[in-house]
A and B are shown apart, each in its own frame.
Chain A
Amino acid sequence: MIKNILLLEDRPGRQAQFLSKEQIHHLNNLDYLFIPKELECTDWLHDINSNDLHNLIKYDLVIIHKSSLKPTGLNNLREICKEKKIDLIFFSGGLNQIVFQTLEFQFLSINSSVLYTDRLIEFLKNYAIGTTNRLLELVYGQQWKLEVLLRYRQLQTRYEAELNDEVKFELEDELSILGQTVPTEIENLENEIEKIFVSI
C-alpha cells in the first residue's frame, strides 16, 4: 500500500533556493506527496495550532517547517504523532545539528539545506512505496547502513561489558532487532565497516 506524505512549507521561495525548477516541478507532481500551497498551507498550519488534526492523521509522514508552528501547535503535533505513530520530520534554517529519535515515534530534526537535496525525491519515493521507512536515509542515503553497523558495534561493546543480566537481556533484544536490518553485514561486522569507510 502506498504511504501518504504531507509537506508543509510556508516559504515556497526556500525550495527554489535549494532545488532546480525541474526538481520542484517533479516534487509538485508526486501522487503520494501533498504540498498545500499559500492560503491552503496557512489553513493547515492554523488547524495544527488549533488542534484540528483530523486531516493530518491520513498521512504516514509529515514534513513541516518547524518555525511555522506556534508552541501549542508543536505540542499538538507531538501528541498526534505519538498517538498515531506518524513519522515526523522538522526542518528549519536555524537547526544546526541533525537530531533523530525514536522513543515516542520516528522523529528527525534537520536543517532546511539537509531536506532539500538531490536525495529528497528518491527518499520520498522509497518511503511511499515501502522500500524504506528509515528517515535517516533522507540524510545519509546509502550510508544508512554504516550508521546501523556503527551503532550495532557500539551496542555490542556495551553488551559484552554489561554485568547486569536484566540490562544485558535488553541489549540483546536491541541487538537482535537492529541486526535484522543488516543481517548479512553483521556476520562480518568489522570488515563491512572497514569496506564502507574505504569506499567513502
Chain B
Amino acid sequence: MNALLIHNDNLPTSLINSFENHLKFDIGQAKILEFDFSFDKEVNRQLDSAFENKSYDVIYIPYSLSLNNYLELSGLRLALHIRLTESWGHKLVPIVFIGHETKEQIAKLTDYGGFLFSSGTFSTTKFDYVQLREQYNWIQNNWKRDKEPILSISEYNTMLSRIKVMPSASHQSHHSLVNEWAMYRWAKALGDLGVESQELALNDDNVSTDLYFKYLIAINNISPLINGDIPKVNIQNSGKVLLIDDESNKGWYEIFCSILYDRFPDLIEFDYVDDHLFRHKSQKEIIEISKKHIIETEELPDVVILDLRIHSSDYGATSIKEITGFKILEEIKRINPGIQVIIFSATNKVWNLQALQVAGADGFIHKESFENSRLNSEFTFQSIENMLKQVEESLSVNFLKDISSHLEPLLRKVETNSNKKPKNYKLTIPQGKLIGYRDYLTSANFLLYSNPKDLKYCFLQLILVIEDIVKSIYIDSIDGHVVQWSLNEPVVCLEKNDFYTKLKLKPRQKWNTFSEGDYILEGDFEKKLFNDQVDRIPFNYRLNCVLYFKHNVQLEQSAKYSKLYRLRSSSVAHIGISVVQVKDVIDAIELLKILTV
C-alpha cells in the first residue's frame, strides 16, 4: 500500500517492517537540550525530508510517539502539522491514528478532540499489517464513492473551523504574536532578509514551523508572500532616526537598517536603543534608559520609531496612559516636542490612537496582524511604503526640533513668570502684559506644529508679541521719544530739530561702552518718515533703540533683527506665498528672549 507509517519504535517491529514507507520520529535527549529546540521545529525538520517529492495515499501515526510518556500524545500534534503545512502536499490526505484507545478516550486527554472527529481522520485499534491494509483499501475504495479519497476543500475548511490550536505561553499576548508575524512578513517582502540576518532567520524559522502560526495562516487563508518590489519611496531629507522597540534585536533593527540606512546611507543615520538593556528592568527604568539614550547621544534624533508595549506590565494595562511606549512618547515630547515620533504598534483602538495623537505622536504605522494579511494581500508592501513615507515626511520637518529647542525655553520662562506672585516677579516687562504674551506664544507653538510646512502663521504670532513689547518700551513722553529703560529712568532717544532727526546715543557708561555722541540715521527713506508721532517712527528704528538702550545690544548685532519686521511687512502679513525660513523663526524667538529678560 502507498502509505507512510510514522513511529518511534513504539509499535510492534513486525508492523513497522511491513510498511514499505516508514519514518522513525525520534528526538534524542541531547536534541531537546539544545538552545533553540522546539518540538514543532523538529517535526518540520524530519517531515520536510519525509515528504520531499513523495505522495502518499494514507498516513498512519500512533497517538503517542514517546517511549516515556504516553500522554504526550505527540502523534496528534504531528498529524495537525501535516494538515496545516501546505508545502508538504499532504494536508488533504487521510490520517489513521493507531492505539488501543478510542477517539472518545483520547479526546478526554487533549485539546485536539475536534480534529480527531473531523473528516479524513480515522483510528484503529489493530496492530496487524493485514488489518491495516484492509482499512487502507476501505479508505481508498469506499470512504468516498466516485470521488478521490482525500478531504474536499469544504471538509478541510470545516475541519479548520472545528479544531482548536492553542498558542504557547510566549504567544499568549497579541503583541508578541503580531510582532513576530509582522517581522516575518516585512522580511519576506523585502527579499527574504532572513537569508542574511541570523535574527530574522530565527524568526522566520519560528513562524514557519510553529503550529499555532500554521493554524492562523490556514484559518485566515493567507497566501505566502511573493517577494515584491521594494516600495519606491524616495527619501530626500536627511536626519537621524532612532528605533525604540523591545524586539529590536530580534529583527526590527535589521529590517529598518535595510529599508533606511542601506538604501539611503548618505541621508539617514540610524540608531536603536539596545533592548537587551530592557531585560528584567522595571517600566520606570526602561523609560529612563530610553530617555538617557536620547539625551546623551551627540545630537537629538529627528525621528523616533516607537513601539508601545515594551514592559511586561503593559499587557495588563487598562489605559493607554499606563503603557511604557506612551510614557516614553511623553518624555520625548518633554525633551523636545519637535522630535517626530512615529508609533509602530499593533494597537488599532481608536481611543488609543486619539490619546497618542493628543500626547504628540506624529505618525502611526500599524504592525501587521493576521487579520490585516487576510483582508489585504498587499498590506505588507503598503505598510513598508507608508513607513518610508512617514519617515520622509517627518524628516522634512526636522527643523521643528531646532525651533523647539529655542521656543520651548521661552515658553517655559513666560509660563513660569506668568504664574509667579507679583512680589516675586522680576522681568522688566509688566506681568499683566506677559500673561497676554503667553497666549500669543502658545498660539505660535500650536501653529508651528499644526502647519509646519508654512511657518508664517507661527512667525506672525511671534512678531505680534515683539511689536507689542517694543511699543510698550519705546514711548512718546512729554520730553520726546524715550525708551523706558526702567520705570523711573526713561532715556531720551530721539531729538529733532529743523535740519535733521537724530538718534541720541548717550548710554550710561556703566553698562555700555559705546562712544558718546549723536548718531544720525542713515538713509533718506527712513529719515523721510520721521515725525513727532511716535506711531509713525519706523518699527526697526524703535526696535534698535530698545535693544540698544534697554538691553545693551550693539547696533551692529541688532541689525539682523531688522529684517524680521521687513519680512513681516513685505510678505508675511499678506495673502500669498510666504518666504519665512526656519532661521527667521529662530531669530524672532531669540529676539523675544532678549526682550523678555
Contact = CB atoms under 8 A, between A and B. Distances in A.
A181 interface: no
A107 interface: yes
A71 B11 contact: no
A162 B17 CA distance: 12
Contacts of A167: 13
A45 B90 CA distance: 44
Interface residues of A, number: 49
A150 B99 CA distance: 10
Given A99-B39, A153-B100, A154-B70, A93 B14 contact: no
Contact of B210 (A69, A96, A153, A164): A96
A104 B108 contact: no
A136 interface: yes
B229 interface: no
B33 to A, nearest CB: 5
A100 B69 contact: yes
B13 A94 contact: no
Contacts of B74: 97, 99
Interface stretch (A55-63, A109-117, A123-131): A109-117
A162 B312 CA distance: 54
B151 interface: no
Interface in A35-84: 69-71, 74-75, 77-78
Given A93-B170, A161-B127, A163-B13, A101 B32 contact: yes
B33 A74 contact: yes
A103 interface: yes
A10 interface: yes
Contact of B168 (A74, A96, A109, A136): A96
A153 B70 CA distance: 10
A74 B34 contact: yes
Nearest to B13: A162
Nearest to A159: B12
Nearest to A190: B100
A195 to B, nearest CB: 12
Contact of A70 (B35, B69, B72): B35
Contact of B169 (A113, A158, A197): A113
Interface string B124-144: 000110000000000000000
Contacts, number: 121
Interface in B254-296: 280
A135 to B, nearest CB: 10
Given A98-B69, A157-B127, A158-B13, A107 B32 contact: yes
Interface centre among A94, A97, A112 (most CB of B within 10 A): A97
Given A136-B69, A157-B127, A158-B11, A96 B38 contact: yes
B interface, how many residues as a size bin?
35 or more
A94 B33 contact: no
A95 B38 contact: yes
A91 to B, nearest CB: 9
B10 interface: yes
Nearest to A200: B108
Interface string A142-156: 010011001101100
Contact of B71 (A13, A147, A160): A147
Interface string B64-100: 1010111110100100000000000000000000011
Contacts of A15: none
B72 A100 contact: yes
B330 interface: no
B29 A101 contact: yes
A98 B117 CA distance: 23
B101 interface: yes
A11 B416 CA distance: 44
Contact of A97 (B10, B29, B39): B39
A102 interface: yes
A69 B168 CA distance: 20
B515 interface: no
Interface in A145-200: 146-147, 150-151, 153-154, 157-158, 160-164, 167, 197, 200
Contacts of B171: 93-94
B71 A146 contact: yes
Contacts of A99: 27, 32, 39, 66, 69, 72, 74
A109 B42 CA distance: 14
Nearest to B14: A161
A67 to B, nearest CB: 9
A76 B97 CA distance: 39
Interface of A: 10-11, 13, 69-71, 74-75, 77-78, 90, 92-104, 107, 109, 111-113, 136, 139-140, 143, 146-147, 150-151, 153-154, 157-158, 160-164, 167, 197, 200
Sorted nearest first, the 8 A-B pairs with minimum C-beta distance are A93-B170, A161-B12, A97-B39, A93-B169, A100-B69, A150-B70, A71-B35, A96-B168
22 contacts: A93-B171, A94-B169, A96-B38, A96-B40, A96-B168, A99-B39, A99-B74, A100-B69, A103-B28, A107-B33, A111-B169, A136-B69, A143-B71, A147-B69, A150-B70, A150-B100, A151-B68, A153-B100, A154-B64, A154-B99, A154-B100, A161-B12
